[in-house]
Chain A
């Protein structure tokens, strides 16, 4: 039985530190029904369907320009696929 991509969880684990606080807050603001789990040194954000990171939201909280490539400094792991990684937005979701 196939479970639709929209209802399966995707997620991202980030290093939990001061540098990444704005990023985490931006993800929290832009994704409803986020599940958050803290482990030593890292924070795990999961959600059913898709998870979005918006450049504008991160920049607004960070108070400086932030290019989406910078996610690479924060990410520990993820599950799902990067269905989009552009200048203004990153989206993690399953395809099928």
Chain B
């Protein structure tokens, strides 16, 4: 009898490998109930009938994940090394560019770490193996992002002010309560709301507006390390977008009763996320010496074209409507950056970044990008600020601004259709009055007043005596600010150092 030569085992396809190494490793518990193992997926009212329907289009396995992530880090650290060795900071467009990066390190890495913590939680506590594995990958990604952002920007900390105590500032300084409250709001929700808040609304809908134009801006301003970590992080981001999209579709496909809950979260988290990235609008249009595109153009490209004309037409199938306040955001695209930067300008004496009046070249660009609205703001605020400068002063607002109870941004936004009429909304809850910058923030409060009445509002905290004392120097000391961290850019140590470095470079040449 002849034995036929054994055929070599066929290599598994990508799909088979993925299934074998994720879904097939799951088992049904017998000693304990599912509710005992996964106690947190019941209380939000989301009904799930079959967790095996969770699909991960990336079909990653641990082995493939490690292989590509290691390669991404190798490439990034090679760039960081070369930049440091070649004194790359001297090749930036201008030292004032660095103010955008100061806001970045103060406001972002610590919340990448928050995202790492919450996705670790999802990797343990979501019932389905596909969802858990995707969350595990994202958890590791977010930790990598926090680390690579800190490593990358630590080089600049040797040469520029405004970066030395970002960790402490994040917990204390007024404008940093905006991202902090956003992420802590999401972290204190349930796992499904977290997935809609961060996975879908932030990662899929809005994150392109944070990273893509910004990293392209870094590339345009000689900031090779930031461009590299940005694109490196963003390559993970496409997986996160996929997880967010899968999360919303999964909830909608599992049970029709999930639709109104998901729609409510989408309305809320679109607006929360949109208000958060208002800071990015100000940075893009005013803080980059060389701009790639305006906030308005980025919003049209990455939000209106992609999301309104693409995504929401797809989600219509499930009965999802575009976020409730989306039209307000669209109407604001011409004025948002002007308003945000004006807030930053007048309060930068109490901040860890510097601002300055747009110079002649900046103003030319602003006029081209915003022909209808720039002249209005120029006449209303910048011409006055310039007159103060010309007479040897510098306009800072000596008072403390009222903050919106929900987004925590100073009340500098305006009524729709009237760019100079401040918008103010109020709700009374149990005899206390709360103030808001917009209909969006007000309705978020009205839906969950018990949560938002607890907001840690930096201005209220100062008045309550919790921030070092009643005067600006008291508060600045409690914040941990040092001279040179904030206020006017022109004449600051960063500005003078920059001129000295380049003066010397010219002499030697």
Decide if B241 is an interface residue (CB 8 Å cutoff): yes
Whether B313 pairs with A77 at a CB distance below 8 angstroms is: no
Decide if B215 is an interface residue (CB 8 Å cutoff): yes
Whether B235 pairs with A8 at a CB distance below 8 angstroms is: no
Indicate whether A76 sits within 8 Å of B238 (C-beta atoms), given known contacts A15-B231, A85-B58, A87-B14: yes
Decide if A27 is an interface residue (CB 8 Å cutoff): no
Nearest residue in B to A46 (C-beta to C-beta)? B305
Shortest distance in angstroms between A10's beta carbon and chain B's nearest beta carbon?
7
Shortest distance in angstroms between B61's beta carbon and chain A's nearest beta carbon?
9
Decide if B384 is an interface residue (CB 8 Å cutoff): no
Decide if B27 is an interface residue (CB 8 Å cutoff): no
A74-B215 Cα distance, complex, nearest whole Å: 15
Which residues of A, 1-45, contact B by the 8 Å Cβ criterion? 2-3, 5, 8-11, 13, 15, 39-42
Residues of A within 8 A of B (CB-CB), count = 35
Which residues of B, 340-367, contact A by the 8 Å Cβ criterion? none
Whether B237 pairs with A77 at a CB distance below 8 angstroms is: yes
Whether A94 pairs with B13 at a CB distance below 8 angstroms is: no
B-chain residues with CB within 8 Å of residue A11 when the two chains form the complex:
306
A-chain residues with CB within 8 Å of residue B394 when the two chains form the complex:
none
Decide if B316 is an interface residue (CB 8 Å cutoff): yes
A80-B315 Cα distance, complex, nearest whole Å: 11
Whether B231 pairs with A41 at a CB distance below 8 angstroms is: yes
- Give the interface centre of A11, A39, A86 by most chain B CB atoms within 10 Å: A39
A42-B235 Cα distance, complex, nearest whole Å: 12
Residues of B within 8 A of A (CB-CB), count = 42
Whether A41 pairs with B14 at a CB distance below 8 angstroms is: no
Indicate whether A73 sits within 8 Å of B238 (C-beta atoms), given known contacts A13-B212, A81-B245, A94-B313: no
A86-B289 Cα distance, complex, nearest whole Å: 43
Q: Which of B44-52, B64-72, B421-429 lines the interface with chain A?
A: B64-72
Whether A73 pairs with B235 at a CB distance below 8 angstroms is: yes
Contact pick for A68, options B14, B241, B313, CB 8 Å: B14
Whether B305 pairs with A76 at a CB distance below 8 angstroms is: no
Whether A69 pairs with B314 at a CB distance below 8 angstroms is: no
Decide if B33 is an interface residue (CB 8 Å cutoff): no
Whether B68 pairs with A42 at a CB distance below 8 angstroms is: no
Whether A78 pairs with B238 at a CB distance below 8 angstroms is: yes
A-chain residues with CB within 8 Å of residue B242 when the two chains form the complex:
81-82
A-chain residues with CB within 8 Å of residue B71 when the two chains form the complex:
73
B-chain residues with CB within 8 Å of residue A87 when the two chains form the complex:
13-14
A-chain residues with CB within 8 Å of residue B216 when the two chains form the complex:
39-42
Indicate whether A8 sits within 8 Å of B309 (C-beta atoms), given known contacts A42-B231, A76-B234, A96-B316: yes
A-chain residues with CB within 8 Å of residue B211 when the two chains form the complex:
76-77
B-chain residues with CB within 8 Å of residue A74 when the two chains form the complex:
235
A27-B295 Cα distance, complex, nearest whole Å: 29
8 additional contacts (CB under 8 A) given A2-B316, A42-B215, A77-B238: A5-B313, A39-B293, A72-B235, A72-B239, A75-B235, A82-B57, A85-B59, A94-B311
Q: Which residues of A contact B (CB under 8 A)?
A: 2-3, 5, 8-11, 13, 15, 39-42, 68-70, 72-87, 94-96
